[in-house]
Amino acid sequence: MGESLLGNEGITMKQFAKLVNILGTSTKTNDKLQALQDYFEVAADQDKVWVIAIFSGRRPKRIINSTILAGWCLEIAAIEPWLFDECYHTVGDLGETIALLLPEQETQNETGNEHTLSYYLQTFIRIEKETEQVKKDFITSSWQQMDRNEKFVFNKLITGGFRIGVSQTMMVNALAKTVKVSSSIIAHRISGNWDPATTSFDDLLSETVAATDFSKPYPFYLAYAVDEDLDKLGEEDLWQAEWKWDGIRGQIIKRNKDFFVWSRGEELMTEKFPEYNHFKDQLPDGTVIDGEIISLGAPAEDGVFKPLPFAALQTRIGRKTITKKQLTEAPVGFIAYDILEFEGEDIRYKSMEERRQLLEQVIAKTNYPALHISPVISFNTWEELGVTRTKSRDMGSEGIMIKRKSSPYQSGRKRGDWWKWKIDPLTIDAVMIYAQKGHGRRSNLYTDYTFAVKDGDKLVPFTKAYSGLTDKEFAQVDSFVKRNSIEKFGPVRTVKPELVFEIAFEGIAASNRHKSGVALRFPRMSRWRTDKKADEINTLEDLKEMLKIYNQQGVVEATDL
C-alpha cells in the first residue's frame, strides 16, 4: 500500500478505492489501521474530511434510488431484470453487483481517472436537485472512467450503508496518530453536527471550533457483558447496580439555551421527541445527561413508571412527522443514568459517585413526570443481586447494570468498570421453512431463515433469524437448503421442514402485521436442535401463552429510589 500511495501527487478515487479494498478484506486490525494512516498522511485535506464523514455515517443524501440505478446497469450491460436479481441475490450487495456486471473498459490504465473522492461527493450534492437525466449522465459517464474497484466504491457512496469493516473507533485511532492528538479528543471533535461540504480539515480538528459547536455530544461509554463469576468483581460495596432499560441510549444536551437529543448512533433526534420540550427549560445551561430514551406508560401520578415494550418506541422512530395518536399511544420518557457536563464543565473525570449526586441534584429541580432518574438497586451480596435479576422481565427491563462507584465516564466499550448482566433470553423450538441468501460475508450462502411453530397440523411462520450459528453450521444448513428446497419464489426457497432450532429472543409483543400475531425482539438461533424432529417443536399456543405472560408492562415503584 505504502509505495502506491506515497510519492503520488494527487490522491484520486483510485487510491480511496484501494483503501476501501484493504479495509474490507484485511483480517488484521493493524493492517487496516496502517492503511488508514497511510491514506491520511498523503490525502488532500478535503478528501480527509470526506473520509471522516463517510466512516462516521455522514454521507451526502442519496441522489437516486437503487431501482433506478440498477435499471441503468441493466441497460448498459444489456441483461434481463431476472438475471440481475439472480446476480444480486448471489452477491448480496447492490453496489458490488452493478460493479461486476458493468463492462470493463478495454483501455484501462493507471492514470485513467484523475478525479478525487471529494469531486464525486461534491458533485452528488450539486446535482441532488437536478433532473434524473443529469444524474444519469453523471453516473454513467463516471462508470466509464472507472475500474471495477472504483465502481464498487462509487456505487457504495451512492447507495449508502458504507459498512465495509472499519469502525469509527479505528478511524479515530488512525486520525489520532496522524494529527498526534489523543483519540478521545478526536472522537469528541468529530462527533456532533457538522457538514463535510463546508467544514475544512483544520476547522474540524481545531479546539476553538469544537468549543462553539453547542450540539456536540460526548462519546458514549459502553459496557461489556459480565463474565461468569461476579465474585471476581470484589467487594459489593464498591459497586452500584441499576436496571438495564430497553430503549435507545441517548444524550440530552442543554447548552447556550439550546436543546439537543442524540442517539447512541450519533443521530440527532431532537425533533422526534416533542415530550422533552416540557423539561428542557428546567435544565440549566451547560448540562449533558446520558440516559435511556424509552416509551413509558401512562404518566405516573403515584410515582410509578412503566416501560412499554420496545415495539412501542419503534412506532416513534424512523418517522418524519409524529401524529397525536402516536404521542398518546407511545409517549416517550427519559431515564437518566449519568451526567457528563455540569455547569458547563466536562466532569467525566469525576467518580460516578460524585456524578450521581450532581445528577440527582439536577433531576430534582425538574418536575416533568416522564423524566426519571435510573433507580439504584440495593443489594448486599452478589447472590442477592442475582435473585433480583430474575425479576427483570417483570420490570420491563432486560437485566442489570453493574457500575464501579469510583469509575470515570470513559469513551467507547471498555472493560473493568461497567458491566451489563442481561437476563437469559426466552426460547422456543421451531422448524426452518424458508431460506434466503445472506449479505456481505455471507454472500451466496443461505443464512437468512424463516421459522415456524405448529398450529394443529399446519406450520405458522412467526420469525426470521440470521445469527447465532457458527460458520461451519451455516455451511451445513446451506448445503441442506440446496439439497432440500421445494420451491423458489424470487430469492426465497421453501425448504423441507426438517431442521429444528432453538430460537432465543429478548421480548415478545402482539403484532397485527404478522400472521402469527406476535413480534419478537432480537430473535436469533441459540442452538441447532439436531436431537429434535419437526413434530417436537413448540406450538402457536405456546407462543400465545408467552405473549400473555411477558407482554405485561413492567412496573417500577419510584419509592425504590
Partner 1 sequence: MPLIEFSDKGLYCRQGNFYIDPWKPVDKAVITHAHSDHARWGSKYYLCHHLTKPLLQLRLGDNLYESVDWNEPVFINGVKVSLHPAGHIIGSAQIRVEYEGEVWVASGDYKTEDDGISGAFEPVPCNTFITESTFGLPIYKWKKQLDIFEDIKNWVAQNKENKKTSVLIAYSLGKAQRVLMPLSEMGLPVYVHGAVWNVHQALVNSGWKLPEVTRVQPDTPKEDLVGNIVIAPPSADGTPWMKKFYPYSVGTCSGWMQVRGNARRRNTDAGFALSDHADWYGLLQAVKATGAQKVYATHGFQSAFSRFLNEQGIEAGEVKTEYGGEEEESKAAEETEEIIMDNG
Question: Which residues contact partner 1 by CB under 8 A?
Answer: 24-28, 31, 77, 79-80, 82-83, 86-87, 90-93, 96-97, 100-101, 104, 152, 165, 439-445, 471, 475, 478-479, 482, 488
> Least distance (Å) from partner 1 to the CB of residue 25?
6
Q: What does the DSSP assignment read for 272-321?
A: G-GGGHHHHTTSPSSEEEEEEEEEB-S--TTSEE-BPPHHHHHTTTT-SS
Whole-number Å distance between alpha carbons of 94 and 101? 11
**What is the identity of the amino acid at 438?**
G
Name which of 150 and 266 has its Cβ closer to partner 1: 150
For the record, the C-alpha cell of 236 comes out as 459489593
Name which of 80 and 235 has its Cβ closer to partner 1: 80
> Least distance (Å) from partner 1 to the CB of residue 150?
14
> Least distance (Å) from partner 1 to the CB of residue 410?
30
Angle between helix 117-126 and 45-55 (nearest 10): 70
Give the torsion through C-alpha atoms of 178, 182, 186, 187, to 10 deg. Answer: 130
> Least distance (Å) from partner 1 to the CB of residue 32?
11
Name which of 366 and 443 has its Cβ closer to partner 1: 443
> Least distance (Å) from partner 1 to the CB of residue 112?
15
Name which of 164 and 371 has its Cβ closer to partner 1: 164
Name which of 102 and 205 has its Cβ closer to partner 1: 102
Name which of 104 and 383 has its Cβ closer to partner 1: 104
Whole-number Å distance between alpha carbons of 191 and 428? 41
> Least distance (Å) from partner 1 to the CB of residue 439?
7
Beta bridge partners of 488: 493
Whole-number Å distance between alpha carbons of 217 and 194? 12
Neighbouring residues of 139: CB distance < 8 A, sequence distance ≥ 6: 64, 69, 72, 158
Name which of 26 and 169 has its Cβ closer to partner 1: 26
For the record, the C-alpha cell of 292 comes out as 435511556
> Least distance (Å) from partner 1 to the CB of residue 376?
44
Query: 514 burial class (0-12, 13-18, 19+ CB within 10 angstroms)?
Result: middle
For the record, the C-alpha cell of 422 comes out as 442481561
Name which of 108 and 206 has its Cβ closer to partner 1: 108
Name which of 165 and 412 has its Cβ closer to partner 1: 165
> Least distance (Å) from partner 1 to the CB of residue 84?
9
Name which of 474 and 505 has its Cβ closer to partner 1: 474
60 touches 197 (CB < 8 A): yes
Name which of 167 and 378 has its Cβ closer to partner 1: 167
Name which of 3 and 229 has its Cβ closer to partner 1: 3
Q: For residue 247, what is the DSSP state? A: S
In angstroms and rounded to an integer, the radius of gyration of the C-alpha atoms of the chain is 26
Beta strands in 374-425 (DSSP E): 376-377, 397-404, 412-413, 418-422
Whole-number Å distance between alpha carbons of 561 and 376? 6
> Least distance (Å) from partner 1 to the CB of residue 278?
48
For the record, the C-alpha cell of 217 comes out as 455530544
Name which of 92 and 554 has its Cβ closer to partner 1: 92
Give the torsion through C-alpha atoms of 449, 455, 459, 461, to 10 deg. Answer: -30
Neighbours of 85 (CB within 10 A): 14
> Least distance (Å) from partner 1 to the CB of residue 70?
13
257 touches 272 (CB < 8 A): no
Neighbouring residues of 236: CB distance < 8 A, sequence distance ≥ 6: 379, 380, 381, 382, 385
> Least distance (Å) from partner 1 to the CB of residue 168?
19
> Least distance (Å) from partner 1 to the CB of residue 3?
8
Whole-number Å distance between alpha carbons of 436 and 447? 6
> Least distance (Å) from partner 1 to the CB of residue 315?
33
Whole-number Å distance between alpha carbons of 526 and 467? 8
Closest alpha carbon to 179 in 192, 193, 189:
189
